[in-house]
Structures are given as structure tokens and as C-alpha cells.
Amino acid sequence: MIGLPGLRLDEPTARFLRDFPPAGVVLFKYNLSPDRGQIRELTGALQKLALEATGKPMIIGIDQEGGTVKRLPPPFGQYPAAASYGREGREEVYRWGLAQGRELKDLGITMNFAPVLDINTLGENGYMKSRAYGRDPETVARLGTAAIRGLQEAGVASCAKHFPGMGQTGLDPHCPVIPQVDRDLETMLEWELVPFIRAISAGVQAVMTSHLIYTRLDPARVASLSPYILKDLLRARLGYAGPVLTDDLEMGAITMGSSPEEAAREALAAGADLALMCQTLEAYQRFVEMA
């Protein structure tokens, strides 16, 4: 899945997508205006091109969590951050998912990279402090599954993230740094993994991985590139059978060690189904040409 320039599908970009058809695209703020017609025109053009080029529709994804992580400008719904709902906010979160899902579907967007199922264990020092639903597994699991239910009842695929959990770090993997978490599997099964286990039981339609190293699970690779975490843990142990997406492979935590195209090949070999390469079309082209 790739990012695209601009508000409209211009001819050079359309030609590129015909030559190198991706599984999907990710929309950012610079792709979206306050005009509903502009967004529908863009998503409609993308789907028309995909059907002509491959015979299949493409996934059109967006990060629309609420709070600081949202792509749609006003007058579209402007919802609060996950942390603002509180422990008893399940019904409110469900209503958010339903309303947000209906809005996205109306715009032709088929997947929301939400909810965040990370547990903000570090509180104010945590990287996910506003984006997580809470500081304990039960709260995050209860509210996260409500968000999933609302989004998917509205007809938009929910993508839970960031497996197997980012709540134990204060570092930002967008930067050239690789966060590390020192947790054993038995502890994680009682903490970080609880919301993901519940999301799988609730039928979440996609899971996104994190660019963190879990030193006691795989000390050599970030989760997005780890066969143990993707195949042995997520697939075999937790029983998840749906699509696995990486986070953007053009983030600093990845590019400080390898090229995005090399990371994409490694992620797919490790068990990911979809590799996100959202910053440059050139990196995606290099990946296709080396595959």
C-alpha cells in the first residue's frame, strides 16, 4: 500500500499505478480537502483504475483515530483522542466507530487504521499517551472492541494496531531510533496482548504491526520484520487468520537500518500480507522491480 501526491489522480500518477498496480493506497491530509466531492472523485478514480488494471478493487486506507491523528479536515467529524473517553466510555466509542465508519464509507474509504490497542503503561511519559484508550488491558480491550464493532458495522474494515503493543516506550519510531521493549511472553499474554486477543475474537478485519524490537521475543528484528512475532505468535498462538499490515516502512526506525524496499521484502517473507510504503513512489517502484 502506497501514498500518493496531490488532491487528484493526475495522469503521471495514473500511468504509474497502471504500470505498478498496488494493493491499495493510504490517504493523508494533503490528499483531502474540505470538499466531499473532491474526495469521492479521488477514491472513485482510484477504484476505476484498479478495476481496469487488475480486475480487483483496491484498499483505500486512512489514519482516522481522532485527537491528533486524523486526516479529514472540518467540516468532517472532528472526534476526540482515545484517551479522553475514560474507562466507562464503551458506548460512546461504539457510536464514534459507527459515525466515523459511515463517513469514511460515504467518501469511498474502505479501511481505517484504528483503533489503537496499545496500553499506555508509561502514562505521561508514553509515546501513545493520548492515542491509547487507557492504562490497563481491560479498559483498552473493552473500548477497542467497541470501536471495531462500530466501524465494521458501518461497512469499513477496522485495522487494530500496533501489534504486539507500543505502550512500553516513550520513543517515536517515525524518528531514526528503534524502540526496544524488555517483556517476556507470559507477561505480554496478561498485558499487551490482551486487547489484540479480544479484537481477534471480535472479528477485527486487519492488524497492523509495530517497528519495535521485543528483546525477549526476537532480539534481532523489529516486530514488522519478525517471523516469530508474525507467524508463531500472531498466527499460530493467537489464531489470527486475517490480513497483517506493516506500519509505514519509510519510518526512521526502518530506514536507519535498511532501504524501504528491502524491508518490504523482508516483511512479506516474515508473514506480513501488506507492506506500507507511504512516502515515495520511487521506493515502491524499486521494490516491484526487485521482486
Record the cell numbers describing residue 175, joined without a space: 524518528
Catalytic positions, written as ranges: 174, 247
What three-state secondary structure class fits 205? coil
Cell 472513485 locates to: 44
What grid cell was written down for 226? 519478525
Q: What is the distance, to the nearest Å, from the Cα of residue 8 to the centroid of all Cα atoms in its chain? A: 23
The three cell numbers of residue 185 are 511472553
What gap in Å lies between CA 224 and CA 229, rounded to an integer? 8
Q: Are 159 and 114 in contact (CB under 8 A)?
A: yes
Half-sphere exposure of 179 (CA within 13 A, CB side): 22
Q: End-to-end CA distance of the chain: give it in Å, rounded.
A: 15
Closest CA to 83 of 20, 29, 44, 126: 126
CA angle, residues 90, 111, 235, in degrees to nearest 5: 80
